[in-house]
Structures are given as C-alpha cells and as structure tokens.
Structure 1
Amino acid sequence: MIGTVHVTDRGAVRVHTYVAPDASVNVTSHVVETPHSLVVVDAQFLGRFADEVVELTRDLGKPVDRVVITHAHPDHYAGAGHFDAPKHALPVVIDQIRARGDVQDPTGTTVALRDVLPTQALEPGTTVIDGVPFVFEAVSGGEAPDQLVVKLPEQRVAIVQDLVYNHIHLFLGDDDIPGWRRAVAVLAADPGYDVVLPGHGQPTTPAVYAEVERYLATAAEVLGDDGDAYEAAITERYPDYDGTFVIDIANRYLFGAGH
C-alpha cells in the first residue's frame, strides 16, 4: 500500500482514515466501520489510490453501505467509480459535479461523469446507519462553495474534510477566506468532538481549528494581486507545510493562467 491508514478506535465503531501520498496532496478517504457495514466518506483522486481504499474495505470483510461525497472537487470524487456502492451527496453538490462534466485526474486520464456522479440525494440531518447515528451538516462557503460535514456524536468524531487541512497549504481558489473563517469558527465552537478528520492530512484534534484560523488570517493579510508574491509570503510564514503546489493551482484560479 502506497497510502497510509490511521485508525480511530471507538469500540463498536472504528474509523479507518486512508491518507494518500504527498503527490496526491494527502487527500483522505474515511472508512467508518460499524458493527455490520462500512460507510466511505470521499473517494480519492487517482484511481490507484481509490483501489487501495477499496482493498481496505475488502480486508475489513463488511459490505459498503454507501459512499458519501462531501463536495465537488475532483480530488475527493474522481475515484468514486471504483466503488461498487451507492453514491450519496448533497443535492447542490450533485448539481456541481454534473456541471463539471468529465474531468481529468493528475495522470491525464479522463474520468467520465457517468462513473462518478452521485445518484442518491443526501439531506442534512441525522441518519441512523447500522444502529449508529450519523449527523450530516451542510456548510456554505470556504474551500468549496458547498460542503458536507459528517459527525459521529456518540463516538465524538467529526469528519470535516476540506474545511480543515492538517499541516498542508490551503487551496484558496474559491476566493472565500471570510466564509472559510466563519465555517471554522462554527466547528471550533462545538465541544462535542475530540477527533477531527481533515480532507488533507492525518487525523488530528480540535486544536487544528485555531491553526487553520491563523493560516487564513495570514493569507488574508498577505494575499494581494500578485500570485508569486503571495506564494513567497505564505511559504515564508509556513515553511514546514507540505503541498506548496496547491498554492500554484489556487493561484491559477485567483490570478489567471500565467501563475
């Protein structure tokens, strides 16, 4: 296995967090293992890493009840076609994925929309799966226009995906730092969770919310109208963060193809 797996053990429920290698920006998939089934949250970017998550589910020996896609960025859903299970997402996220159409993964391979488009509309609220309450919360603004947070209140685990990166440079391409800061503040104000599972990087604790807030505050301070200057400034402030090429990708959205 090229990626790494980190297990959050809460007795009858365990969460197996698959973290892709650096070249795939340490994007995560979370396999929630309930007593008799599995729920997969997000499906990787590259097919070979999606296959590793599929293999993980097979090793666990339980059927995959569903694959939940949290938002419409291809690094979280391009591998969805590798899973033989219903795909669920917020209606607005389904619309956004449909609007993107076919996408390309980092190898240049075309991923057909028909293979990855979720067909099951997920409504916010509490859903009990295999006796375990899952709380689905819709969040607007931040790294993506619309995102899903998945909480396991009895296990005190919050799967917050791309509202949090753990020690990795943030993707600011949607140009919504204020919305992101508001969303993180709401998460930080909820004391019911002691494990935070990010969309990029290893499992962490609620202390990560303050780290993300500081990064966003710094980004708001140094982000001007020059992508190269921004990259130099933010990497100087955060020299030990991984994923500097994420800044380059975001800069193309913020400043145009020349960056």
Structure 2
Amino acid sequence: MNGTMTIVEAGPIRIHSYMSPADSVHVTTQLIETPARVIAVDAQFLARYADEVVAYARGLGKPLDRLIITHAHPDHYYGAARFGVPVHALPVVRDQIIAQGDGQDPTGAAVPVDAVTPTVRITPGVEVIDDIPFVYEALSGGEAADELVIKLPDQRILIAQDLVYHGIHLFLGNNDITGWQTAVRQLASYGSYDTILAGHGLPSGPEVYAELHRYLSDARELLGDDGDAYKKAIMDRYPAYGGAFVIDIANRYLFGNGHA
C-alpha cells in the first residue's frame, strides 16, 4: 500500500483512516465499517490512491454503501467516480462542485464534473445507520467556504476532515483565518469526542485544536505580500510538518494565479 492506513476500533464500528502520500498532499479518506456496510468519507485527489482505498474497502467483505463528500475542494472529490457508489453531500457543496466544472488532476488526467457530482442530498441532523447515530453538521468559513462535519457520538469520534489538519501545513487559499479559528473553537466546544479525524494527516485527539489555533495565529503574523517569504517563515516555524506542497497551492490563491 502506498498510503498509510490507521485503524480506530470503536465498539460496533471500525474506522479505517487512509492518508495518501505526499504527492497527493496527505489527503485522507475515512472508511467507516459498520456491522453491515462500509461508508467512505472523501474520495482522494489522484485516481491511483482512490483505487487503493476502494480495493481496501472491498477487501473488508462488506458492501461499500456510499461516498460522502465533505466539501468542494478537488483533492477530496476528484476520485469520486472510482468508488462506484452513490455520492452524498450537502446541497451547497454539490452546487460548488458543479460551479467548478470539469477539471484536471495533477497528472493531467481529465475529471469530468458529471462523473463526480453528488446525487444524494445530506440534510443536517441525525441519520441512524445500522443502529449507529450519524450526526451531520454544516459549518461555514475556514479552510473551505462550507464543510460537513460528521459526529459519531456513541463512539466519541468526530470526523472533522479539512477543518482539522494534523502535522500538515494548512491550506490558507480560502483567505479566512478568522473563520477557521471560529470553526475550530466550535469543534472544541463539543467536548465529548476523544478521536478527531483530520482531512490531512493522521487521526488525533482534542489536543489538535490548540495546535491549529497556534498555527493559524502564526500564519496571520507571518503572512505578508510575498508568498516565497511566507513559505520559508512558516516552514522554519514548523520544521516537522509535512505537506509543503499545500503552501504552494495556497500561495497561488493568496498571491496570484489562483481562482477563488
């Protein structure tokens, strides 16, 4: 396996958290294995890593039931067609994906928007799947304009995806540090979750919130009008973090050549 798989045991379910290698910005797909099925959360950037996730999921011996897309950043939905299952998302996320249109992944492969557009609407609230409550919550502002958070309260697991990075440089291209700090405070206020699943990086605990606040505060201090200078400064301050390529992508939005 090229990616890194971490398994979280939680009573009647297991979470298989797949983190891709650095060339795909360490994006994670969460596979929620219930007693009767497997539910995927986010779809990978590159087709080869999506295929790796799907092959692993099929190997669990239970049907892959659905794919949930949490937000409209291509690294989390370009691989959606490889899963071969219904794609679920908040309506606002679906609309944002459609608005971005056809794309190309980093290898140059075409990604037709029709192949990755969610078709099943997620409504915030509670859905019970195999006697397990899934709590869907929509948050606005931060890493992306709109994001879905999934709570598994009985298992004390919070699937935060891109509102949480763990040991990976943050994508600041949405230019909303204040909104991200607000969202992190809201996640921290939930209080009763021991396992936090990140959109980039390995699973963590609630201590990740303080790490995020510190990084965001440092980024606010260090951001100026020179992307190269910012990259050097933030990497010097966080030398152990991975995902330097994430800074390059964000800088194209912050300092030119990107599209909001």
Q: Deviations over 1:65-124 (max 9, x none)?
A: 211000000100000001121100000000000001111111010111111100111111
1:100-115 paired onto structure 2 within 5 Å: 100-115=100-115
SS in 2 for 1:251: helix
Identity percentage of aligned residues = 60
- Which of structure 1's runs of 4+ aligned residues deviate more than 2 A? none
SS in 2 for 1:139: strand
Normalising to structure 1: TM-score of the pair? 0.98
* CA deviation after TM superposition for structure 1 residue 176, in Å: 0.2
The residue that corresponds to 2:125 in the other structure is 125
1:1-259 paired onto structure 2 within 5 Å: 1-257=1-257
Structure-1 separation of matches of 2:189 and 2:114: 39
8 Å contact kept, 2:17–2:28: yes
Task: Point out where structure 2 has 5 or more consecutive residues left out of the alignment.
Answer: none
* CA deviation after TM superposition for structure 1 residue 38, in Å: 1.1
Task: Point out where structure 1 has 5 or more consecutive residues left out of the alignment.
Answer: none
Normalising to structure 2: TM-score of the pair? 0.97
Q: Deviations over 1:33-59 (max 9, x none)?
A: 110011110010100100111111111
Structure-2 separation of matches of 1:101 and 1:45: 16
SS in 1 for 2:175: coil
Aligned AA (1:104): Q
SS in 2 for 1:189: helix
For these two proteins, the number of residue pairs brought into alignment is 258
Aligned AA (2:23): A
Structure-2 separation of matches of 1:222 and 1:18: 32
SS in 1 for 2:154: coil
Aligned AA (1:88): H
Q: Deviations over 1:151-202 (max 9, x none)?
A: 1100000010011111110000000000000000111121110000000011
Q: Deviations over 1:198-220 (max 9, x none)?
A: 00011111100100110000001
Q: Deviations over 1:204-255 (max 9, x none)?
A: 1110010011000000111112212211211111111111121111111011
* CA deviation after TM superposition for structure 1 residue 11, in Å: 2.1
SS in 2 for 1:60: coil
